[in-house]
Structure 1
Amino acid sequence: MACSQSLGIAYTSSALDDSQRQFDIYYPTDTAVDARPLIVFVHGGAWRAEDKRDHASLARSILTATGCAVAVPNYRLTPSGNVDPNLRHPVHAEDLLAFLHFILAWRNPQYSFDPHKLVLIGHSCSAHMLSSIFLDSQTPSLTPSMVLLSAVKGIVLSEGIFDLDTLVARFPDYRRWFIDGAFGPAEHYPEFSTLRYSPWPNAPIKWLLIHSKGDMLVDVPQTVAMYNHLKTLYPEGIDHDIDTVESDHDDVLRQDAYIQMVKDFVVNFI
């Protein structure tokens, strides 16, 4: 499917010259295509790295597979050695929530998508960010509007970080590398465990969790624990796959099997 792109669109009034609060969108050039869900891919990078431009090829692949427009937002990152509390969690997720509220109201006839049908994809640390918004993390600044909760039909989480304490127990160097900078120095981080978060009422979102057996950066038990938690919250609409993909952490995104799983999930909402 032929596609085009628009790059560097600001989603806050202060972001005209702030690339960390802009997004790119990839969309079908065939204007005869019916309005389909908008897919939002949120990059990982340990809350401190990566950029929307790094995932242009992935966005095009998802568009080709699904026929849906794909938006890729940036968000503020935590710099190495951060001591500024204003650049710690929840600032990254706050930016993501601001983008999602922006996209609900954004209207441009150039882009054909249904803003009332959103499918969100979070990879690595952004799986934690999406979980902190679409489950109740008891963080007022991460409270989604009822309109947004209604618009989000599905969430895909791949190679996700969900519980910081078990992650640090498995990979002790991560505390110094990015956890202390992004969340502040602490002995333990129970309040940031998405395994403790409760569901929002009247938000029948479907979830798909993906994890590769070959991931050397985030271990499979992170996703297994989150899957088990979601199953206690929602009797239906939760699925996971920890067997299909065998690539390393970010290589998962370049696998045909990953694109196929996303396609099979999205087709439920077209």
Structure 2
Amino acid sequence: MVQDGSTTTEYDIPYIPNNPSPLLRFDLYAPDACPRDSPLLVFVHGGAWRAEDKADNDFRTLASRLASASNCPVLVPNYRLTTEHNQFRHPGHAADILAFLVFLTTWPGVPNVFDPAGRPMYLMGHSAGAHILTSIFLDSAHVFPSLTPPSPVLQAVRAIVLSEGIYDIDLLLARFPEYRGWFIAAAFGDRESYADVSTTSLSLREGSDLRWLVIHSAGDTLVDMPQSDTMDAHLRGLYGPAADTRVARNFDQLDVDHDDVLRSPLFVDVVRAFVDGLQ
């Protein structure tokens, strides 16, 4: 446990009992004076399904900034990755994150530091992390039944922030064909079409009651704006007349590259304003 005077940090908490893998653990950033009913903020990192770790300095800095700015506990999980030495593929990454969220619904917390009971969850996904969250919280059950959230998770998760996300993989490859060999084929298999793993064709899950914020930086050169434009349009189509109360977008404030978004104080401000508006 680490204390910096305003936030208590607990590292490497396992979310799969009796599993020693560091990729099945999470970190907790708990503001010392956060209200008892403040939501949990959960950040799911990207990394093309093949890289990155919750211990990376960018993620730790972002989590600390979010905790201080929002006065909400922030949790950052790892999940298993696709590497050149394994055959770990989608939906395995998303299944790990779903297992983490299920764990949170019964986790007693850290004594004298943090009690999660009854807190709503607001989720954030960056890049591949956005695909992971939309694979779970839009209805992919007809393709991947293992990604079906149980009722306690659907009731706890109230909002999702998507940033620099990958959603329509065929569209991504049409614009960046080199991504097939770099990471798409490894994470999803090498095939002609990825329509069944693209989340811009999925419907709303029955029993969910979500608010969405879709963020994209105008300066992102790794994942371009059509990804977020397509997801924003898809979500608005799903909600119909209620779209303006369910789906927000922010495509014009940030102007930095893909990973630099997470280093930007403006990104924290955008997320904090969204969170404040939900409470």
- Is the 8 Å Cα contact of residues 155 and 206 (structure 1) preserved in structure 2? yes
Partner in structure 1 of residue 26 of structure 2? 23
Q: C-alpha separation between the residues in 2 aligned to 1:132 and 1:33? A: 31
Matched residue of 1:52: which SS?
coil
1:182 partnered with 2:208? no
The one-letter amino acid of 2:108's match is: R
Matched residue of 1:40: which SS?
strand
Residue segments in structure 1 that go unaligned for 5+ positions in a row: none
1:247 Cα shift? 0.3
1:144 Cα shift? 0.3
Q: Mapping of 1:125-136 within 5 angstroms? A: 125-136=128-139
Match of 2:60 among 50, 56, 59: 56
Match of 2:230 among 222, 225, 229: 225
Matched residue of 1:105: which SS?
coil
Partner in structure 2 of residue 204 of structure 1? 209
Partner in structure 1 of residue 121 of structure 2? 118
Q: C-alpha separation between the residues in 2 aligned to 1:47 and 1:227? A: 22
- Is the 8 Å Cα contact of residues 164 and 216 (structure 2) preserved in structure 1? yes
Q: C-alpha separation between the residues in 1 aligned to 2:18 and 2:232? A: 37
Q: C-alpha separation between the residues in 1 aligned to 2:54 and 2:73? A: 15
Partner in structure 1 of residue 80 of structure 2? 76
Matched residue of 1:24: which SS?
strand
Alpha-carbon distance change, 42 to 224 in structure 1, aligned in 2, over 3 angstroms: same
Q: C-alpha separation between the residues in 1 aligned to 2:226 and 2:264? A: 21
- Is the 8 Å Cα contact of residues 173 and 179 (structure 2) preserved in structure 1? yes
The one-letter amino acid of 1:248's match is: D
1:113 Cα shift? 4.2
Partner in structure 2 of residue 5 of structure 1? 9
Partner in structure 1 of residue 147 of structure 2? 142
Partner in structure 1 of residue 162 of structure 2? 157
The one-letter amino acid of 1:135's match is: L
Q: C-alpha separation between the residues in 1 aligned to 2:193 and 2:131? A: 17
1:34 Cα shift? 2.8
- Is the 8 Å Cα contact of residues 103 and 115 (structure 1) preserved in structure 2? no
1:42 partnered with 2:44? yes
1:114 Cα shift? 5.0
- Is the 8 Å Cα contact of residues 37 and 269 (structure 1) preserved in structure 2? no
- Is the 8 Å Cα contact of residues 44 and 125 (structure 2) preserved in structure 1? yes
Partner in structure 2 of residue 88 of structure 1? 89
The one-letter amino acid of 2:71's match is: G
How many matched pairs? 265
- Is the 8 Å Cα contact of residues 3 and 29 (structure 1) preserved in structure 2? yes
Residue segments in structure 2 that go unaligned for 5+ positions in a row: none
Q: Sequence identity of aligned pairs in percent?
A: 47
